[in-house]
Amino acid sequence: MEYAISLADHLKKYIRLSDNTINELTNLTTRTVLKGEFLLRAGETSRYSYYVEKGLLSYYSIDEKGKYHIIQFAAEEWFMADRCSLFFQQPSPYFIEAIEDTVVTVIPLDFFSKLSESEPAFVEMNTKALHHHILHLQKRIHQLLSASAEERYKDFLEMYSSIAARIPQTLLAAYLGIAPESLSRVRKEIAQKRS
């Protein structure tokens, strides 16, 4: 992706921010994470949320058999965090890894609380974002339990249409809960239906 959008510019799309808040947002740390680097490893306790300015992250676990289970991807203008580890200060079972060279804004735990106090409009925006995230997770759980591989793939393309081409097939298959060979078969079947 060729562009980067700051956290302040992202928030200004949704709410009016005071000059003081814009200065605070500008003072947050920005970090470049190289492809293959981790922002969080299983067993660590999370201390930050991340806003993706540029690049692509994955959020996943690895089971006892070494199988990857990708929970979420985050590209430009998305947030990424292990909320349970962050808010309850317990070790995480998850990894957050850069799929591409990625630039993130590092957001400390108390930052959103302070922002909510200084910018009341942020509370409503953040509540909507959290409800949207919960809706997405519920839909994802339902699909993993009941949808076919083809249905999960089509939903993925709808949800992540802007980044689908940037995700390696092995990671996409892990997100869908299928083997890479099964993903190839699903793609072939969809292509045949379209012709």
Q: What is the pLDDT of residues 177-194, one digit of tens each?
A: 999 999 999 988 888 888
For the domain made up of 7-109, the CATH class stated in words is mainly beta
> What is the pLDDT at residue 94?
97
Question: For residue 56, what are the CA distances in angstroms to 102, 103, 186?
Answer: 6, 9, 24
> What is the pLDDT at residue 2?
54
Q: Which of 8-17, 99-108, 158-167 has the highest mean pLDDT?
A: 99-108
Question: Which band of pLDDT confidence, cut at 50, 70 and 90, is reported for residue 1?
Answer: very low
Residue 108: other Cβ atoms inside 10 A: 14
Do residues 20 and 118 make contact, with C-beta atoms less than 8 angstroms apart? yes
State yes or no: pLDDT of 54 exceeds 80: yes
* Domain assignments of the chain as residue spans, ordered by start: 7-109
Does the pTM surpass 0.85? The reply is yes
